[in-house]
Chain A
């Protein structure tokens, strides 16, 4: 899967609440019907953390668990919103062109 697609899926799932890696992938499977490969998932989490769009959750569980449970940041929510709005515009334009949506 393309790196940017994997990052958006992870952000979408984390927008619903903090999760650890395995739970993120389970939620992605529920959303799309297939899981991300380990390289795509943890690569996306690493890149999103480097861009400060996600961060380790600060509470709950033991220290190692807290470190691996990730949550979306405000910058992450803003980036996800911008990306989804752009996708919605593209989607509407495509549907209009196909004659399946009101102009």
Chain B
């Protein structure tokens, strides 16, 4: 993909459909010096969903539903990557798992309701099976490899390869789940703007809690690159989610 087309692809779908060709043309004409402005413009528009020109009915709600799911998936990957004991997801550790409660509540509130028609449900099941077949095979292969005992204590290149494979499978699964949400949102009953706003607020609150817990952990231990990155990424995600929620007009 050419850089100019990539820049246009970073804009929210409604803006991309209206202005994508022109954005791409102007970026191609102006070259690298226009990239910061193009990137900043895309980021600003993602933070203001109330400004998106709807080219189809319910488009903003559909895109936001998928975006909120993507934020939740990205958070799960981030927390897994950091592996901090202060951010858990277990009922046995309620204090360190508190951050997860508003996120799960927000995700449930923002989830589209399934269409209650037999034909639509059957179609949805087919789409889910097709979309998740790849990740299911990848996860199964990973589990089989782990239990086969072929590599008990991998070192060097084998260890790097296994780690890369593990993260590739997790990222691929998260990506396909986002794709499924996007396909599902096309036919399902989308949440109202008010519900989406509440959902984004709850997810933003959960992210803020997670960022706070991560910062407390940082203040008590020797700050490392991984924990600093996690705290920063969670804070940015929290700020972006809450800003976008504020902008939603109900």
A interface residues with partner B (beta carbon < 8 Å): 3, 20-22, 25, 35-43, 45-47, 49-50, 67-68
Contacts and interface: CB of A to CB of B under 8 A. Distances in A.
Contacts, number: 66
Nearest to B55: A67
A42 B15 contact: yes
Contact of B37 (A20, A38, A50): A38
14 contacts: A21-B26, A22-B22, A38-B38, A39-B42, A42-B19, A45-B19, A46-B18, A46-B19, A46-B45, A46-B51, A46-B53, A47-B48, A47-B51, A50-B50
B30 A68 contact: no
Nearest to B26: A38
B193 to A, nearest CB: 14
A37 B37 contact: yes
Nearest to B17: A67
B51 A38 contact: no
Interface of B: 7, 11, 15, 18-19, 22-23, 25-27, 30, 34, 36-42, 44-45, 48, 50-53
B44 A39 contact: yes
A38 B26 CA distance: 6
B15 A37 contact: no
Contact of B22 (A3, A21, A43, A47): A21
Most B Cβ at <10 Å: residue of A22, A39, A49, A68:
A39
Contacts of B26: 21-22, 25, 38, 41
A63 to B, nearest CB: 12
Given A46-B53, A47-B48, A67-B18, 15 more contacts: A21-B26, A25-B26, A37-B37, A38-B26, A38-B27, A38-B34, A38-B37, A39-B37, A39-B38, A39-B39, A39-B42, A42-B11, A46-B19, A46-B45, A46-B52
Nearest to A21: B22
Contacts of B51: 46-47, 49-50
B204 to A, nearest CB: 22
